[in-house]
């Protein structure tokens, strides 16, 4: 299992998460896009909270005894009641030096532009795996196992990826990424991460 996890992390470190270098922008509550992303994030947080407290659900995905310590800590938080929510419009989820050095590789790759966009979306969304790995194997395993995904109609004004991070005053935060597609939808990917790992997110002014 450890070798497999290491292989996954290494694969994340050889492809850039995005091409453009547009500065990140914090969305405010008076922005219609903020409202749309917040509502979708809360829907996923409610669903996650229900799944988290179901031994039947968790046990169908991962052996409970393999993640029991982290699971017990998570269940001490109510993920439906965030104390703070940050919504960011950004083409990069994390400000990582490795990713920054490799931003120019993807344009020159020898495959179709449609596949390049698929790669951008995939690695934007799976950057959260790096963040959960900062606390160790058990956290990463459970975070990955309890990841939720969905697709929605593209909200007006959304022309690039966005992410929402919810804080609860506890050990864990909830991260939701939104990536627009060419067919007029956005793909959402949601999972918990350690609260301290949220400092690695690409917030405005922190590049």
Q: Any idea where the domains of the chain sit in the sequence?
A: 25-200
Q: Which residues contact 203 (CB under 8 A, 6 or more apart)?
A: 24, 26, 86, 88
DSSP state at residue 28:
-
Q: What is the pLDDT along the chain (207 residues), one digit of tens a residue?
A: 444 444 444 443 333 333 456 788 999 999 999 999 999 999 999 999 999 999 999 999 999 999 999 999 999 999 999 999 999 999 888 876 555 555 567 666 667 666 767 767 777 777 778 888 889 889 999 999 999 999 999 998 898 999 999 999 999 999 999 999 888 899 999 999 999 999 999 898 744
Residue 171, H or E segment? none
Rounded-to-integer distance, Cα 191 and Cα 70, Å = 14
CB count within 10 Å of CB 176 equals 27
Distance CA 179, CA 196 (A): 24
Contact 160/89 with Cβ under 8 angstroms? yes
Q: Which pTM does this prediction carry? A: 0.84
């Amino acid at each position: 299992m450890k070798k497999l996890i290491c292989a996954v992390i290494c694969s994340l470190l050889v492809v850039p998460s995005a091409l453009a270098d547009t500065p990140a922008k914090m969305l405010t509550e008076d922005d219609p896009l903020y409202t749309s992303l917040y509502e979708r994030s809360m829907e996923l947080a409610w669903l996650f909270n229900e799944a988290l407290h179901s031994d039947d659900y968790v046990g169908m995905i991962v052996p409970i005894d393999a993640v029991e310590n982290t699971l017990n800590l998570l269940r001490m938080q109510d993920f439906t009641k965030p104390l703070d929510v940050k919504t960011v419009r950004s083409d990069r989820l994390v400000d990582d030096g490795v990713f920054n050095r490799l931003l120019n590789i993807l344009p020159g790759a020898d495959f179709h532009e449609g596949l390049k966009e698929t790669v951008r979306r995939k690695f934007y969304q799976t950057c959260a795996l790096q963040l959960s790995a900062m606390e160790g194997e058990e956290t990463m395993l459970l975070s990955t196992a309890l990841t939720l995904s969905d697709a929605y109609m593209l909200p007006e004004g959304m022309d690039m990826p966005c992410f929402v991070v919810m804080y609860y005053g506890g050990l864990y935060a909830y991260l939701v990424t939104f990536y627009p597609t060419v067919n007029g939808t956005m793909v959402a990917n949601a999972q918990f991460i350690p609260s301290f790992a949220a400092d690695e997110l690409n917030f405005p002014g922190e590049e």
